[in-house]
């Protein structure tokens, strides 16, 4: 029987335990990957519904109800971000396209022009359409960019006029709880409803200010800043400025305004 009180035995035992634990973790990670990706997709779909007003923040929706509402109410299309035109549906499957992965792939993205929000832009963006009587009523568009501690990921819902905010969510962020993390608070997100993105020359001017803004009808281009979270507030403003510019969703929103959605 081998000695169990020697240095060699202790080293071998520790090595075997480490290898077995590493294998178990690797197997578990691979086995759970598909489920994790499915849950992440479901969470994004729920936030699209929230931005579009098809779900309320206080609703406790089951997985089945989220999928049902999404399939019944939301149409998913890919958009060529340079031209603003829809990508032919037979070229790519919009439902399986992952914009976040595409942004990190040099073959599916390009360097962004100098700006403080994002470093790369995917060739194609995912647009979520809510239609009424066969016409687009609003569009929900993904936005992302640098916050204080990491990347902010959200969705903004915009009216068919291509200018009026109908909803906003930030579903993935690492900002400080109680401060910058308040961008995930439905009460702050509700302040965006009815605000205008562009000025009379169709330049993006919607921003987050330090202090309190007035109501949308009196102060259409400004949002209340987050108390004690100036860097996060500035980050949100920069994210909006970039994605509503000609380098982001502006060409698509122009086509929506002009009815060029075919």
User: Looking at the domain assignment, is residue 143 inside a domain?
Assistant: yes
* Total tally of structural domains belonging to the chain: 1
User: Looking at the domain assignment, is residue 210 inside a domain?
Assistant: yes
Give residue 222's domain range: 75-257
pTM of the model as a whole = 0.86
The 10 Å CB-count burial string (b at 16+, else e) for 167-189 is bbbbbbbebbeebbbbbbeeebb
| 70 touches 48 (CB < 8 A) | yes
User: Looking at the domain assignment, is residue 19 inside a domain?
Assistant: no
DSSP codes of every residue in 71-124: HHHEEEEEEETTT-PBPPTTTS-TTT--HHHHHH-TTSEEEPPS-SS-SEEESE
DSSP codes of every residue in 143-192: EEEE-SSSEEEEEEEEETTSSBEEEEEEEE--PPTTTGGGGG-HHHHHTT
User: Looking at the domain assignment, is residue 173 inside a domain?
Assistant: yes
Alpha carbons 218 and 125: distance in angstroms, whole number: 33
Give 260's pLDDT tier (boundaries 50, 70, 90).
Answer: confident
User: Looking at the domain assignment, is residue 141 inside a domain?
Assistant: yes
pLDDT tens digit sequence for 173-216: 999 999 999 999 999 999 999 999 999 999 999 999 999 999 99
User: Looking at the domain assignment, is residue 30 inside a domain?
Assistant: no
């Amino acid at each position: 029987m081998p000695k169990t009180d020697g240095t060699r035995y202790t080293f071998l035992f520790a090595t075997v335990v480490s290898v077995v634990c590493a294998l178990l973790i690797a197997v578990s990670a691979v086995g759970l990957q598909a489920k994790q990706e499915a849950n992440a997709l479901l969470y994004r779909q729920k936030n699209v519904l929230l931005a579009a007003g098809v779900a309320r923040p206080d609703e406790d929706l089951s997985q089945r109800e989220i999928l049902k509402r999404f399939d019944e109410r939301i149409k998913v299309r890919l958009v060529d971000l340079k031209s603003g035109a829809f990508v032919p549906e037979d070229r790519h499957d919009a439902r399986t396209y992952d914009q976040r992965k595409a942004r990190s792939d040099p073959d599916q993205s390009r360097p962004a022009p100098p700006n403080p929000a994002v470093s790369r832009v995917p060739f194609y963006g995912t647009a979520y359409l809510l239609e009424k009587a066969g016409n687009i009523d609003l569009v929900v568009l993904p936005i992302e960019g640098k916050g204080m501690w990491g990347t902010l990921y959200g969705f903004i819902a915009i009216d068919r006029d291509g200018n009026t905010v109908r909803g906003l969510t930030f579903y993935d962020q690492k900002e400080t709880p109680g401060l910058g993390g308040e961008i995930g608070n439905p009460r702050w997100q509700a302040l965006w409803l009815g605000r205008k993105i562009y000025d009379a020359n169709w330049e993006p001017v919607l921003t987050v200010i330090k202090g309190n803004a007035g109501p949308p009808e009196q102060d259409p281009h400004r949002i209340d800043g987050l108390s004690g979270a100036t860097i996060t507030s500035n980050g949100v403003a920069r994210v909006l400025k970039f994605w509503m510019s000609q380098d982001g969703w502006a060409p698509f929103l122009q086509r929506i305004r002009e009815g060029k959605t075919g």
